[in-house]
Each structure stands twice: as structure tokens, then as C-alpha cells.
Amino acid sequence: MSTKGDHHTVPLSVLLKRESANEKIDSPELVHGQFNQSKKGEDFTFVKTDCQRVMGDGVSTLSVFGLFDGHNGPAAAIYTKENLLNNVLAAIPPDLNRDEWVAALPRAMVAGFVKTDKDLQERARKSGTTVTFVIVEGWVVSVASVGDSRCILEPAEGDIFRFYDRRDRATASGGEDGRLNTGGGTELSSAGGRLIISSDGVWDAISAEEALDCCRGLPPEPSAEHIVKEAVGKKGIRDDTTCIVVDILPSEKLAASVPPPKKQGKGMLKSMFKRKAMLSDRLDTKYPLCNMFKLFMCAVCQVEVKPGEGVSIHAGTANCRKLRPWDGPFLCASCQEKKDAMEGKRDRHSSESD
């Protein structure tokens, strides 16, 4: 029992550990994937995660995603990809604290676009490019775009943000001046959300809702592939078709703090099919809420699944449209194969021979 004047000292290592834990809770984790079907070879992407930026009140981490759809050759797209980020960051005054930096970012993105465009016109007058450029700093998503490469954001709460103003063909140079659209700084809640950045090869074929619906329950990499193939399947491959998918997740949804128990094997999976043939009907959709720390463990064998590798049991079912991309339960690759075999989606003998 201590008196009022007593002060208990806390070791520095403990304070640092607490601070580190708080940062992990306050900052989201990003998982991304991309896919492309090329016809002209004029689509280019830029992905740079965990960029560290020194600010007046410390070091901040940001992630950057860009999509560049060139025409009349790839020169403009390549130049913009290589120079736009540096021009944006150079337009932000030094010694700003984190809040000031985030507030200054939309204006800096405009300045960066303008400088890149002016420099580009001196080098590649005939070539042009559309641009969608996304910077994620903490829970704040800032978007700037020119042309018909576009970005949508679906927060966990469900309302879709469309970061574009019109669908006219526009370019950064090459005789046509595109209208620059900026999404400012959209702040997500700590529940997270999903970003989809795609070239016009996607948006000319499917709507934002169709893009989101066709990949619910899937990690970013296969989601990007599903979206591209959905678009190409509807209108064919008339142009380069590219998609980047980014999941912005609370960090606890990526961390399995409890060690997985010993793998129990195939028998446990088979027992789940005694009453209903579809595994998605047997497992509770509220699983992530009641068992958060096991979210990224296989729901059947309990082996740990790496972020972005698990396949939701609801993928491809009627329930998938109601669920968010990170909603589990998830299955590992082995159990997914056995699930497909038992539901008649593939040859049972090929999976049981493992």
C-alpha cells in the first residue's frame, strides 16, 4: 500500500513496450494484391508500403499505391510512376507535426501532379497517361486522380466512396488536359475497409458494387484477379486491364496471439458435413467477434494462416455479398481442397491422396 506522496517507477523497457503496443493498436495493417491482363503493355502500377517520413513531432509511416494507364506509348506512364511521389512529398513544408502534415497532403498532391505534368510535357509531348494516386497515412486515405483510372473505398460500415468526378477520357499530357480530382483526406474508423484501384478496362465493364460483390470473402491478391476476370469476361480484353486491392485492417485482425493446437486432421472436417453439405452453413458468421484472436487460424485444423493466404468459407456462396473482405472463418489451403471435394466442387480422390 503506498501513501499519497509515493511514486512507483516503471522500467523504461516496460514503457517502450506499452508505447509499441499502443502504436500497433492505433495504426492499421495493410494487405494488398494486384492483377493485370495486358493487351498494349501501357498499364503500370506503383506500390510502396511502410515509407517512413520524418515530421516535426516524430516519424510517420505511410503507404502509397498508384495506377498509370498510358496511351500513345508508355513514356508518360513510366515517367509519372517514377517521379510523382517525390514531387508530392517535396511540396509539403518541413517541420510539420502529423496533423498538419495530413492536412497539407491534398494540396501537395495537386502541386505534385502539376509539376509532374509540366516536366512531362517537356519530355514526352505525344504520350499521355491517366493517374490514380492513393496515400494511406494511419487511418486517413488521400486520393488524387486524373482520367478514367479510378478508385473506390468501402469502409467496414458499408457506404461506398467513389473518388472520381467524371468518366471522360483525360490525360496528364499529350494535347489533352485532364481534370484533376482530389479526394481530400477521408478518415476511416478503426474497423477498416477495402480499396479497389482499377483502370478503365474494369470500370467500362462492371460497376463499383459488382467489383466489390464479386470478391467478397477473398484476400486482396485473388480479389484483384477476380475483378479483372469478371470485367474481361463481360466485354473481352479491349485494353490493358489492371486492378489493385488494398485491405486496411485493424492490427489485431492480423495477429494470432494464441499458439495453434496440434492439427487434428481430416476427421474433424468430415464431421461438419453430417447435417449440412455446405461448410459455410455450419460455422457461425459471428466467429470473428467471439474469437478474434483466432481469426487467422484455419477454422477446421486450427493451423495458423498467414495474412492474405486464408480463404473465407463464405467465398462463392450467397452469404458473401453480406460480408466484409476480412470476415471469416478462414480455411487453410489443405482444408479448402477437402471442403471443395466434399461439396462436389473437385475430385475427392485428388484431395484425399495428400
Domain contains 296 = yes
Which residue, 229, 248, 267, sits at the end of a domain? Answer: 248
Is the same domain home to 117 and 173? yes
Is the same domain home to 311 and 339? yes
Domain contains 8 = no
Give me the sheet containing 193-198, strands edge to edge: 29-37, 241-249, 193-198, 150-155, 161-162
Which residue, 248, 275, 305, sits at the end of a domain? Answer: 248
Mean of the pLDDT values across residues 141-156?
88
Q: What is the pLDDT of residue 237?
A: 82
Is the same domain home to 229 and 300? no
Mean of the pLDDT values across residues 174-196?
68
Q: What is the pLDDT of residue 265?
A: 37
Domain contains 1 = no
Domain contains 16 = no
Question: Does the pLDDT value for residue 285 go beyond 70?
Answer: no
Is the same domain home to 273 and 219? no
Q: What is the pLDDT of residue 13?
A: 54
pLDDT tens per residue, range 24-43: 446 889 999 999 998 888 89
Three-class secondary structure assignment of the chain: CCCCCCCCCCCHHHHHHHHHHHHHHHCCEEEEEEEEECCCCCEEEEEEEEEEEEECCEEEEEEEEEEEEEECCCHHHHHHHHHHHHHHHHCCCCCCCHHHHHHHHHHHHHHHHHHHHHHHHCCCCCCEEEEEEEEEECCEEEEEEECCCEEEEEECCCCCEECCCCCCCCCCCCCCCCCEEEEEEEECCCCCEEEEEECHHHHCCCCHHHHHHCCCCCCHHHHHHHHHHHHHHHHCCCCCEEEEEEEEECHHHCCCCCCCCCCCCHHHHHHCCCCCCCHHHHCCCCHHHHCHHHCCEECCCCCECCCCCCEECCCCCHHHHHCCCCCCCEECHHHHHHHHHHCCCCCHHHHHCC
Is the same domain home to 160 and 265? no
Is the same domain home to 200 and 104? yes
- Band (pLDDT 50/70/90 cuts) for residue 206 is very high
Domain contains 143 = yes
pLDDT tens per residue, range 98-139: 889 988 999 999 999 999 999 988 886 688 999 999 999 988
Mean of the pLDDT values across residues 166-192?
56
pLDDT tens per residue, range 46-105: 999 988 877 766 777 899 999 999 988 899 999 999 999 999 999 998 888 888 998 899
Domain contains 289 = yes
Q: Which of 51, 48, 57, 71 is nearest to 133 (CA)?
A: 48
Is the same domain home to 219 and 258? no
Write the CB contacts of 54 (distance below 8 Å, at least 6 apart in sequence): none
Residue 150's domain comprises 28-248
Is the same domain home to 136 and 230? yes
Backbone angles phi, psi at 318, to 5 degrees: -65, -25
Is the same domain home to 85 and 156? yes
Q: What is the pLDDT of residue 88?
A: 94
Q: What is the pLDDT of residue 2?
A: 42
CATH of the domain at 54: 3.60.40.10
Q: What is the pLDDT of residue 275?
A: 39
Domain contains 12 = no
Domain contains 21 = no
Q: What is the pLDDT of residue 274?
A: 38
pLDDT tens per residue, range 264-279: 333 333 333 333 444 4
Is-contact 131 80, C-beta < 8 A? yes
Write the CB contacts of 260 (distance below 8 Å, at least 6 apart in sequence): 297, 302, 303, 304
Rounded to 5 degrees, what angle do the CA atoms 258, 264, 269 make?
110
Question: Does the pLDDT value for residue 353 go beyond 60?
Answer: no
pLDDT tens per residue, range 299-320: 666 677 666 666 776 666 655 5
Is the same domain home to 205 and 225? yes
Mean of the pLDDT values across residues 325-338?
69
Which carries the bigger pLDDT value, residue 115 or residue 156?
115
Is the same domain home to 244 and 259? no
Is the same domain home to 156 and 56? yes
Which residue, 233, 248, 263, sits at the end of a domain? Answer: 248
The span from the CA of 307 to the CA of 296, in Å, is 7
Which carries the bigger pLDDT value, residue 123 or residue 353?
123
The span from the CA of 7 to the CA of 5, in Å, is 7
Tally of domains in the chain: 2
Mean pLDDT lowest among 16-20, 102-106, 148-152, 170-174 = 170-174
Q: What is the pLDDT of residue 334?
A: 75
